[in-house]
Amino acid sequence: MSVAEKVQAEAGRDFIRDIVAEDLAAGRHKTVVTRFPPEPNGYLHIGHAKSICLNFGIAQEFGGRCHLRFDDTNPTREEQEYIDAIEADVRWLGFDWGDHLYHASDYFERLYGWAEELIRAGKAYVDDQTQDEMRLTRGTLTEPGQASPFRERSAEENLDLFRRMRAGEFPNGARVLRAKIDMASGNINLRDPVLYRILHATHPRTGDAWKIYPSYDYAHGQSDAIEGVTHSICTLEFEDHRPLYDWFLENLPVPSHPHQYEFARLNLAYTVLSKRVLNQLVTGRHVSGWDDPRMPTLAGLRRRGVPPAALRDFAKRIGVAKANSLVDLGLLDFSIREVLNKSAQRRMAVLRPLKVVIENYDGPGEELEAVNHPDDPAAGTRRVKFGREIFVEQDDFMESPPKKFFRLSPGAEVRLRYAYFITCRDVVKNAAGNIVELRCSYDPATRGGNAPDGRKVKATIHWVSAQDSVPAEVRLYNPLFTRPEPDVANFVDELNPNSLEVLRDARLEPALAAGNSPEPVQFERLGYFARDRDSAPGKPVFNRTVGLRDSYAKA
């Protein structure tokens, strides 16, 4: 992103919003109409979220509307499951298409009629060449293509063949309908692109009515024109398709003339954003499903605990630019923390427990008051159980600490959050020499965490009651890939073997086990965590949404 683009992004503006504002000011359109056009061949990912936030965001900001249009032109790859998931995900992200739900398949009859018009006008022909032959005669960037031997068929013959293609007379791949534009064009997209191919496949919406299906290029712009889309916003790969997009609009009696604008797609470090590869991760069982919390899908992010507001915030921060770039994962984590820091309640949990026996603490235990949110008194307080035996984090103890280690070590005094000062008196080891327990003493005068004599400690650590805490499974996630820019052709070799770390002996304060809300909470000092749907009664499972600090910056 250039400096100018950064400044714009902070102001919530970008070159596309500038174009829209100018078009409206100049009276070129009364209202802005955008669309988000997913192909239902997989689940939406965070790259799509960028496009959704842009298209729906513009409609909201400028008082226009945004259509959800399924680009359902390839029935061999498309499924109802994906259609349902896409609708749910767009809603979850916070956007609403109102009555404006459309499908390219709504326009199949009209698109077909227009194709016949092109044939009658001598602007389209049926080609009997094989796919390979067409590829070989398309030419290269430096050489023109060669005309198909079928290019000069009469309109009558073309019409007859095209109708028979539609009627299902020919097998898959036997013929295609091509636009007759220019085999010598410097833009390969204009070298007689394919408009229709034969496909004997059942479509989720039109069933077996069609034996031919339009290409993306042929369907897309005309669908935009039918819906009165004013600004058709897509990613940079389609820049070279724009002359073709415009050619169709100029050569067909379309009801409106949309304009296509291109922006840089989101590329995220250590992440693959391609439905094809994500699909292979699922079918190859490299992940547990489309909603595996390691997946960059909206379903996966949601399951990990990422709030939709964080994705909207992220989309705003990355902005909309004309040049491709790679976005750091730390930026996504930053947006997640920004949102969760404000919304998440605080709780205590110990991920890797180490038992502490407080030798001078007698009696049945007591309840101490803990705040639910340090910056929001309205969030209230709760009672946490304290007793003679507690668990602390293994990491919070070192037998021979380096100089700057201020947490528990033999002889050191620390504060237990919301409780007392304790001092480590003894270390208990098992036969193998591993530390299994700490023996500590506490100072009863420090109840609530302050010493009446004003004495200070350098560290406050979290803990849970040994008796009352609830065992839980906690899943920690790391990037799915080992390299910042995974090689999509070789992605299996670049999978991170440590992308999932399962902690089976974590302990939670009872308040965490009782609820079954999927709202993320902050485990104090550890990060943000959300209850997973694998939880069973008495057996909670939590996902780490994000840690408290930027671990990438350190690495």
Residues that bind ligand ATP (CB under 6 A): 37-39, 47-48, 50-51, 71, 234-235, 265-266, 273-275
262 binds, among Mg ion, ligand ATP, none (CB under 5 to 8 A by kind): none
Q: Binding string to Mg ion for residues 25 to 44, with x set by CB under 5 A, is what?
A: --------------x-----
299 binds, among ligand ATP, Mg ion, none (CB under 5 to 8 A by kind): none
Between 212 and 229, CB nearer to ligand ATP? 229
- The three-state secondary structure class of 323 is coil
Between 233 and 340, CB nearer to ligand ATP? 233
Between 8 and 223, CB nearer to Mg ion? 223
Q: What is the closest distance, in whole angstroms, from the C-beta atom of residue 77 to Mg ion in the complex?
A: 11
What residues pair up with 426 in beta bridges, in sequence order?
A: 439
Between 13 and 265, CB nearer to ligand ATP? 265
- The three-state secondary structure class of 49 is helix
Q: What is the closest distance, in whole angstroms, from the C-beta atom of residue 415 to ligand ATP in the complex?
A: 46
Strands 65-70 and 463-465: unpaired
- The three-state secondary structure class of 381 is strand
413 is catalytic: no
51 binds, among ligand ATP, Mg ion, none (CB under 5 to 8 A by kind): ligand ATP
Strands 541-547 and 470-477: parallel
Q: What is the closest distance, in whole angstroms, from the C-beta atom of residue 296 to ligand ATP in the complex?
A: 9
Q: How many CA atoms lie less than 13 Å away from 114 in the CB half-sphere?
A: 24
Element (H, E) at 375: none
CB 512 within 8 A of CB 307: no
Residue 247 identity (one-letter amino acid): W
Comparing C-alpha atoms, which of 93, 87, 78 is closest to residue 42? 78
Between 74 and 446, CB nearer to ligand ATP? 74
Q: Given 178, 197, 275, 415, which residue is catalytic? A: 275
- The three-state secondary structure class of 544 is strand
Phi and psi based region of residue 264 (left: phi greater than 0; alpha: psi -120 to 50; beta: remaining) = beta
CA–CA distance, 379 with 373 (Å, rounded to integer): 6
Q: What is the closest distance, in whole angstroms, from the C-beta atom of residue 82 to Mg ion in the complex?
A: 13
* Tokens 């002889």 belong to residue: 411
Q: Binding string to Mg ion for residues 55 to 74, with x set by CB under 5 A, is what?
A: --------------------
Q: What is the closest distance, in whole angstroms, from the C-beta atom of residue 432 to Mg ion in the complex?
A: 57
87 is catalytic: no
Q: Given 13, 39, 151, 425, which residue is catalytic? A: 39
275 is catalytic: yes
CA–CA distance, 301 with 308 (Å, rounded to integer): 9
Q: Which residue is nearest to ligand ATP (CB)?
A: 47
Instruction: Please tell me the count of residues contacting Mg ion according to CB under 5 A.
Output: 1
Q: What is the closest distance, in whole angstroms, from the C-beta atom of residue 32 to ligand ATP in the complex?
A: 16
256 binds, among ligand ATP, Mg ion, none (CB under 5 to 8 A by kind): none
Q: Given 265, 316, 447, 483, which residue is catalytic? A: 265
Q: How many residues would you count in the chain?
A: 555
Q: What is the closest distance, in whole angstroms, from the C-beta atom of residue 47 to ligand ATP in the complex?
A: 2
48 binds, among ligand ATP, Mg ion, none (CB under 5 to 8 A by kind): ligand ATP
Contacts of 508 (CB under 8 A, 6+ apart): 347, 348, 349, 464, 469, 470, 471, 472, 540, 542
Between 66 and 457, CB nearer to ligand ATP? 66
Phi and psi based region of residue 363 (left: phi greater than 0; alpha: psi -120 to 50; beta: remaining) = left
Between 194 and 503, CB nearer to Mg ion? 194
Element (H, E) at 135: helix 131-136
Residues designated as active site? 39, 265, 275
